[in-house]
Amino acid sequence: MAPGGFEPGDGPPAFSQDFQREFETLLKWRRDVRRFRTDPLPEGMLDRLLHLADLAPSVGNSQPWRIVLVDSPERREQVVASFEAENETAAMRYGGDKALKYRQLKLAGLKEAPVHLAIFSDDDPGQGHGLGRMTMPETLAYSTVSMIHTFWLAARAEGVGVGWVSILDPETVCRVLQVDAGWRFVAYLCVGFPEEDHLDPELERVGWQARSPLEQRLFRR
């Protein structure tokens, strides 16, 4: 049986209008989660979600993503320390009322989330033999981001929240996790069941930044 229950020759699947509406809901519901319950994920769920994420497209079929499951309490504490240092530096750059508002933002769930995933992109994977990235090597990192988004949607479809922590020093994370020198740090993900759910982005909800219409970012030439 082929993946998804389809056999070769069946043709492309027909997705119902109900599925299409549910997919739109999933995209809206995907929001970055920063408030987590500490409950562990059910046995086997993370493995299933990662296998779904591994179906993501990649340049030259290179699959450059490298996923580190951070279980060590000591390493987690060092990542938290990096976040706190970089977060304070960011707040000081704003200054004034903006700095005060910044410090009130909930920007990570590092201490509560039961699962920590550090995502890296291999800058020179043997897989793919260089196809499609000779002129744009950055497509390897783009492919890794595609995998992250696939994981995010798969997780939210099962009620699991994901938060992307970007306020970290990449060199510190690479050193703490002792990864290959050829791996580029892309994302640090907090994963777990949300403490609360919202359809609107938190940054919009607290008045930091509202979403803007697509028309402002759509151009024709």
Residues 6 or more apart whose CB falls under 8 angstroms from that of 19 comprise none
Residue reference for tokens 């390493």? 75
| CA proximity to 53, closest of 143, 125, 131, 133 | 143
6 pLDDT more than 80? no
What CATH number matches the domain at 33-196, 2.40.30.60, 3.40.109.10, 1.20.1740.10, 3.40.50.2300?
Answer: 3.40.109.10
210 pLDDT more than 90? no
Residues 6 or more apart whose CB falls under 8 angstroms from that of 154 comprise 49, 52, 53
Beta bridge partners of 138: none
| CA proximity to 76, closest of 42, 116, 36, 35 | 116
5 pLDDT more than 90? no
Question: What's residue 163's pLDDT?
Answer: 95
Full-model pTM = 0.89
- Read out DSSP for 126-193? STTTTTT-SS-TTHHHHHHHHHHHHHHHHHHHTT-EEEEE--S-HHHHHHHHT--TTEEEEEEEEEE-
Summarised one tens digit per residue, pLDDT across range 97-123 is 888 888 877 778 899 999 999 999 999
Provide mean pLDDT across the span 21-36: 90
Q: Where are the domains of the chain?
A: 33-196
